[in-house]
Chain A
Amino acid sequence: MNKNYFILFGLLIVLSGGLLFLPEKTNYVQQSPESLMWDIVQPTRYISTDQVAKLIIEKDPLFQLVDVRPDYDFEAFSLPNSFNIPIDSILTDEANDIFNIEDVNTIFLSDDDIKADQAWVIAKRMGYKSVYVMKGGLNCWIRTIIQPQKPSESAPITEFELYNFRKGASIYFTGAELSTNSDIKQEVNITRKKKETVAEGGC
């Protein structure tokens, strides 16, 4: 046999050593920093608390809520049908199973929107497509949905429509009773005119 074959063989072995220096391949496709940044600068990932309330009330099957707060906070209070994935376990297999459900949009939420947004950035980098953030988080949820503020008298009609929706949502989520105070009796004091004294004498 030609000794060149041995040289060739030896060379291939040596060169294959170069494979060791290739970057580690991962089993998921990460989003490049550039396209991640493009996604970040667009505000399309934010879902308002009103939209989330509507989704829950309508029992929309195409979305799921993921609460990234620690588990003890989640046990104390959580939104209906939300999953708890604390931000430090966002890369676990269980979390992966939840994010990977086809055609289901995932909405992250936390106390406000910072932690949820950070979870979103990580999820986005890992290549999950339909992930969103609940704008304002639970603080905003309490302010807008649970304790809606009555708009001022001069506010546009849409404000009142929104207020009415929030009031209804608040009752839906808390089972609060609406006290309308409709039975207030308003006292009307009428001072009746005194009967004229006809012959009121002078001096």
Chain B
Amino acid sequence: MHVHEINPKKTLITLTIFVIVIIVGLLTITNPRLEYKLTPNETVELVVWDDSYVFPYELEDVIVGAVDTVILIDIRNTFDFSRGHIPGAENISAVELLSEDNIKRLKKLQKEGICVLIYGETQLQANGPWMVFRQLGFSNVKSLMGGYQYYALWKDNLADSYGDDGYLLGAADFDYSDIASNVNIDENEGDSEKTSITVNRRKKSTVAEGGC
């Protein structure tokens, strides 16, 4: 006698449980909280053709409030922040910016089309965090060229930095091969011109110098 013939409903129950387990399993495949939206190849394209930098002179409009679609976020530590920051900037560290609340806020800002401009002490400091947020799909996150150091240098006449290119990074400052083949280290740098020492001895008073 076959086992199912004892209780035909047994198969049905097993079947239902089986299906439920599979469906529950499929539904609860845990998606990690944060997922890369860009593939590694897209990330390479991003850094080769990057255009999501903000020039320092563009800050002028943001600071005076002419543009209200930009939010400034200072990722430096609180000590540096307290010693000076770009007006209107919020101080949120890069790691903190990945917290659940902040991610929610960034998503909201992205929907509203508001640009999130992050900056550190130098552009290098903001570079990594900027890349992480771009890879997470936040195309509205941008990085400030030159970082805070450059801003602090030009803060009184920010618009004038248009003609300056000190914030540009990634370019060679030298013709390396030319310099490396023409090196001449001058030991006596600084005092290389010949110095002649003149010693003027005090004249002995002539003993019998006759006076009047």
Chain A residues with CB under 8 Å of chain B are 2, 4, 7-8, 11, 15, 18, 22, 30, 32-34, 36-38, 40-41, 73, 76-77, 87-88, 90-91, 110-115, 117-119, 121-122, 125-126, 138-139, 142, 146-148, 150, 167, 170-171, 173-174, 176-181, 184, 186-194, 196-203
Inter-chain contacts of B93 with A (CB < 8 A): 41
A-B contact pairs, 6 of them (CB 8 A): A91-B41, A112-B170, A138-B172, A188-B199, A196-B207, A197-B206
Q: Which of B41, B45, B47, B169 contacts A112 (CB 8 A)?
A: B169
Are B48 and A121 neighbours in the complex by a CB distance under 8 Å?
Answer: no
A118 to B183, CA, bound (A): 31
CA distance A203 to B212 in the complex (A): 6
Digitize B183-198: 1 where CB-to-A-CB distance is under 8 Å, 0 elsewhere. Answer: 1111111101011111
Query: Across the interface, which residues of A come within 8 angstroms of B135, CB to CB?
Result: 33, 125
With A37-B95, A200-B208 given, is the CB distance from A118 to B47 under 8 Å? yes
Instruction: Count CB-based A-B contacts (< 8 Å).
Output: 190
Contact B15 A117, beta carbon cutoff 8 Å: no
Contacts A33-B132, A36-B132, A37-B129; A189 near B197 (Cβ below 8 A): yes
Q: Would you give the shortest CB distance from B150 to chain A, in whole angstroms?
A: 14
Residues of A within 8 Å of B194, CB to CB, are 184, 186-187
**CB-nearest residue of chain B relative to A22?**
B29
Please list the 4 inter-chain residue pairs (A to B) with the smallest Cβ-Cβ separation, ordered nearest first. Answer: A202-B210, A40-B128, A77-B176, A176-B183
A77-B180, A87-B44, A111-B171 are contacts. A15–B210 as well, Cβ < 8 Å?
no
Please measure, in the bound complex, the distance between the C-alpha atom of A11 and the C-alpha atom of B26, giving whole angstroms: 14
- Measured between beta carbons, the chain B residues less than 8 angstroms from A111 are 170-173
Q: How many whole Å from A167's CB to the nearest CB in chain B?
A: 6
Chain B contributes a number of interface residues (CB within 8 A of A) equal to: 73
Known: A37-B98, A73-B172, A111-B171. A122 touches B184 (CB 8 A): no
B204 touches A196 (CB 8 A): yes
- A110 touching B170 by the CB < 8 A rule? yes
Task: Give the contacts of B132-169 with A (CB-CB under 8 A).
Answer: 132, 135-136, 169
Distance in angstroms between the alpha carbons of A95 and B139 in the assembled complex: 28
Q: Which residue of A lies closest to B18 (CB)?
A: A8
B131 CB–A CB distance under 8 Å: yes
Q: Please, which residue of chain B has its CB at the minimum distance from the CB of A166?
A: B185
Q: Which residue of A lies closest to B40 (CB)?
A: A91
**By the criterion CB–CB under 8 Å, are B187 and A178 in contact?**
yes
Chain B residues within 8 Å of A37, by CB: 94-95, 98, 128-129, 132
- Are B124 and A117 within 8 A (Cβ)? yes
Most chain B beta-carbon neighbours within 10 Å: one of A110, A118, A147, A171: A118
User: Are B195 and A170 within 8 A (Cβ)?
Assistant: no
Q: Do A88 and B183 touch (CB < 8 A)?
A: no
Within 8 A of A (CB), among B1-22: 4, 11-12, 15, 18-19, 22
CA distance A34 to B124 in the complex (A): 19
User: In the complex where A40-B94, A112-B169, A173-B180 touch, is A181 in contact with B208 (Cβ < 8 A)?
Assistant: no
